[in-house]
Structure 1
Amino acid sequence: MSREKIMAIEYIRGVSMLGVIGIHTGAYSLSNPKVNIHLFALLEIITRFSVPIFFFVSAFGLFITQDLTAKLNYSSFLIRRLRTVLLPYIVWSILYMLHYTFVSGDTMIWHPPLLYEFAFFGLASYQLYFLVILLWFYTFMPLWRTLVRSIIKHPIRNLGILLLLQMLFNYYSSYILHANFSNHYLNKLIFHRTSYWIFHYVFIFLFGAVCAVEYVKFKEAIKCYRSYIKTFFSISLAGMLLFYYYLVYTLNYTPEAAVNTDHQLSPIGILYTLSSTVFLFMLFSKDRLPEGIQKLLGSLGEHSYVVYLVHPLVMYYLASYLSVRNLLMTAPTTIMFYLTTVIISLTFAIFIKKIGKFIPVISLLLTGSKLSKPKSGV
């Protein structure tokens, strides 16, 4: 199966990228004491599937061309993945740390133990933790192959059990576990657990792997159960929003506190991620989509890696611009902030890809892929 033919994955990646930018825009909108709670819900609640679904996409891409009966060349696999993820992670971490030192004058982050914490937990910028978790998933690839071989023997039953275990674990991690141990280092490991614990996303990763291995059956099931998928998506989305508004209006949570409770690791958040994944795959598996939407989502999907890596930097300078001019993050300003971030980040990503064809080392360092120089006369 050629992964290039499965455009639904590319489009999902594009939508997820828009969602991630929405989540981070929502965080900036809190600078307004009278934040619009409905726009905040759009940016922070409806988009909550965005990060987990990237693990689905990553696993799908890994397993779509794999033969589970063949022996895995683990060293070769790991070397390729370290190049595509670890190298950009190191480069972008250094860039963000340099930027932080430049704007703040603080050099403490370059010295132990802070340097080790920044490196291990992805603290150089708030979005880099995704790459840390992805590296852990790659490291345990032999385990995932074994589990997938076992799951596909009885996929519905085994995925159902895994989903239940995931909800129980995430509930414990999100609402019960606290970093209040006597050991300082253990507290650090617990406090930063969402930055490196792959356990939070095992289900959605293995679900992506199973869907890839059983792609023909998965696609057929989507066609047969379209009405159920729509209903599941609608109910889980309603559950996310109702929980959010209940926390805000009934329990008097602040919008920030509400979203820190009603998140992707909550029980309803896990179900919403699952329903969104299947719903979007169903939506984008249609034979025809409007051409403009195809181009937009295709471009966002193609350049999502660099957009993901650079957009916090873009947001920092946009927020600084608004601050200098004493502009509050009102609803219209927040929307413009979001759109401007998308446009600038996407433009930067396209530029990097173009320049990377002439200076391959730039593409290698920033994206982990080395583009070929264009042939003479082309």
Structure 2
Amino acid sequence: MAKQAKIEEIQYMRGFAFLAVVLQHAIGHYAYLPEAGLQDGVMLAVFLIAAKFAVPLFIFITGLVLFYNYKEDIAYGAFVWKRCKDIVLPYAVWSIVYALIFGGDHLELWKETKQIALYLFTGTACYHLWYVAMVIQLYFLFPLIQKALLRIRRSCKPWQLAVGFGLLTIGYVLLTGQVSVIGNAAEMLHISVLSSLFTEYADRNALYFYLYFLMGAVVGLNVEGWKRRIMNWKASFIFIYVFISGLLLYKITASFQTKSGLVIQYNDTLLVQPFMALFLIFSVIAMSIISVIIQQSAGQWIKRMLTFLGHYSYSAYLAHALMLTAATYIADSLFPDWNVSVRTIIAFVLCTLLSVGLAVLLSRFRIGRLLSGVPAPRKPAM
């Protein structure tokens, strides 16, 4: 297979998504503190809405890269083996690290190999690892999905493909409103493993994120066409994105007033629900537009910074929950009397620097790259 040209916007989007994840989790630490007031709740809601694209964008990138690089028949064994080395092994290592640090009795952990296996299969060793457990499903299913989609693409006309994708989009939005119904049905069936995937682990079931992967697939099969279309309609897409963001902010702030008084909560931003599905679809498009604009117009230092972040994003993602613990401790120790919103931003910046710094440090050692998911050092441009 001929080597594909590099898509620079991919690294920018990875950098954006990593920063957004860190910001979300910093907000999650501070938003519910007793000293958080209404002004903090509103400010953090704005930050959260701005960052909520992270997971869908990561999934979108996964689909884009896979379908861009693999347009012919795939050797399933070789494909899965490579992903086990690049994705699963670092995930397994970090799962064990988090289990040892946050799992309580270390001795019991090592005795209970069943518990370790559960951590690995469910992504429950730490709160952010659910995403990796979910995306691994997509990697393992990709060769089958790719074969089916390429066959459909060859046998259908463009208008039929467009209608089909539109129906899948509508179906996805409707699906996100039926998660509890599907979960109740799955629980009644009592099917080993499968029932759990639709009940207690439904939030990491790849079925409930399929649309973002398919969006990436569509783009990966026609990158230049995608760029051309979103840039031709960029004003409309950005307007819709901003409009829906405003509606979401209204919903969030309205939910603060409860019968028991002011309660800061962000339940309306949970990923798998119909309104959020609409918002996230347009947020992925908006981030794609911004990435293309950066590639076309931004200064070299911005491009280098985002490329740098994107290069180390997976390793930094795996490490960031541990680094956030350190970052919030530093922020709270140095600025105990500062307001919640400011401490959130301080912790976000510190966590970003610590996570990327650790990723860079690990990249200096072969075993570090292997076990942490750090890519091989980048070769200088010729």
Structure 2 counterpart of 1:306: 315
Shift of 1:363: 0.7
**Aligned residues of 1:19 and 1:48 also touching (Cα < 8 A):** yes
The residue type paired with residue 289 of structure 1 is A
- 1:335-354 aligned at under 5 Å gives the runs 335-353=345-363
**Aligned residues of 1:85 and 1:368 also touching (Cα < 8 A):** no
1:243 pairs with 2:251: yes
**Aligned residues of 1:109 and 1:118 also touching (Cα < 8 A):** no
Give the alignment partner of residue 361 of structure 1, picking from 348, 367, 371: 367
**Aligned residues of 2:80 and 2:140 also touching (Cα < 8 A):** yes
**Aligned residues of 2:331 and 2:346 also touching (Cα < 8 A):** no
Gaps of 5+ in 2: none
Shift of 1:321: 4.6
Give the alignment partner of residue 219 of structure 1, picking from 205, 212, 227: 227
**Aligned residues of 1:64 and 1:213 also touching (Cα < 8 A):** yes
**Aligned residues of 2:43 and 2:341 also touching (Cα < 8 A):** yes
Structure 2 Cα separation of the partners of residues 72 and 18 of structure 1: 33
Structure 2 Cα separation of the partners of residues 2 and 285 of structure 1: 22
- The DSSP-based 3-state class of the residue aligned with 1:13 is helix
Structure 2 counterpart of 1:5: 6
Give the alignment partner of residue 275 of structure 1, picking from 271, 282, 286: 282
Shift of 1:264: 2.2
- The DSSP-based 3-state class of the residue aligned with 1:46 is helix
**Larger displacement relative to structure 2 (245-254 or 176-185):** 176-185
The residue type paired with residue 241 of structure 1 is L
Structure 2 counterpart of 1:16: 17
1:100 pairs with 2:102: yes
Structure 2 counterpart of 1:136: 137
Structure 2 Cα separation of the partners of residues 199 and 162 of structure 1: 12
1:75 pairs with 2:77: yes
- The DSSP-based 3-state class of the residue aligned with 1:264 is coil
Shift of 1:61: 0.9
- The DSSP-based 3-state class of the residue aligned with 1:72 is coil
Structure 2 Cα separation of the partners of residues 158 and 201 of structure 1: 17
Per-residue CA distance 1:161-189 (angstroms, 9 max, x = gap) = 11111112221116884597596977754
Per-residue CA distance 1:241-297 (angstroms, 9 max, x = gap) = 2221232247868333xx233322222221222212212222221312133322221
Structure 2 Cα separation of the partners of residues 373 and 292 of structure 1: 18
The residue type paired with residue 366 of structure 1 is S
The residue type paired with residue 166 of structure 2 is G
**Larger displacement relative to structure 2 (108-117 or 268-277):** 108-117
The residue type paired with residue 34 of structure 2 is P
Please tell me the root mean square deviation across aligned C-alpha atoms, in Å: 3.0
Gaps of 5+ in 1: none
**Aligned residues of 2:60 and 2:214 also touching (Cα < 8 A):** yes
1:166 pairs with 2:179: no
Per-residue CA distance 1:49-102 (angstroms, 9 max, x = gap) = 1111101001111111222xx32211111111111111111111111122225x
The residue type paired with residue 166 of structure 1 is Y
**Larger displacement relative to structure 2 (304-313 or 152-161):** 152-161
Structure 2 Cα separation of the partners of residues 217 and 122 of structure 1: 36
Shift of 1:236: 2.3
Give the alignment partner of residue 55 of structure 2, picking from 41, 51, 58: 51
Structure 1 Cα separation of the partners of residues 369 and 321 of structure 2: 19
- The DSSP-based 3-state class of the residue aligned with 2:297 is coil
**Aligned residues of 2:312 and 2:375 also touching (Cα < 8 A):** no
**Larger displacement relative to structure 2 (155-164 or 16-25):** 155-164
Shift of 1:112: 5.5
Q: 1:335 to 1:266 in 2, by over 3 A?
A: same
Structure 2 counterpart of 1:86: 88
Q: 1:174 to 1:332 in 2, by over 3 A?
A: farther
Q: 1:139 to 1:347 in 2, by over 3 A?
A: same
- 1:143-222 aligned at under 5 Å gives the runs 143-149=144-150, 150=152, 153=156, 154-173=160-179, 177=183, 188-189=196-197, 190-195=199-204, 197-222=205-230
Give the alignment partner of residue 60 of structure 1, picking from 61, 64, 67: 64
**Aligned residues of 2:311 and 2:375 also touching (Cα < 8 A):** no
Structure 2 Cα separation of the partners of residues 269 and 229 of structure 1: 16
- The DSSP-based 3-state class of the residue aligned with 2:239 is helix
Give the alignment partner of residue 293 of structure 1, picking from 290, 302, 309: 302
**Aligned residues of 1:239 and 1:268 also touching (Cα < 8 A):** no
- TM value normalised by structure 1: 0.86
Q: 1:255 to 1:146 in 2, by over 3 A?
A: farther
- 1:16-35 aligned at under 5 Å gives the runs 16-35=17-36
- TM value normalised by structure 2: 0.85
The residue type paired with residue 78 of structure 1 is V
Give the alignment partner of residue 241 of structure 2, picking from 233, 244, 247: 233
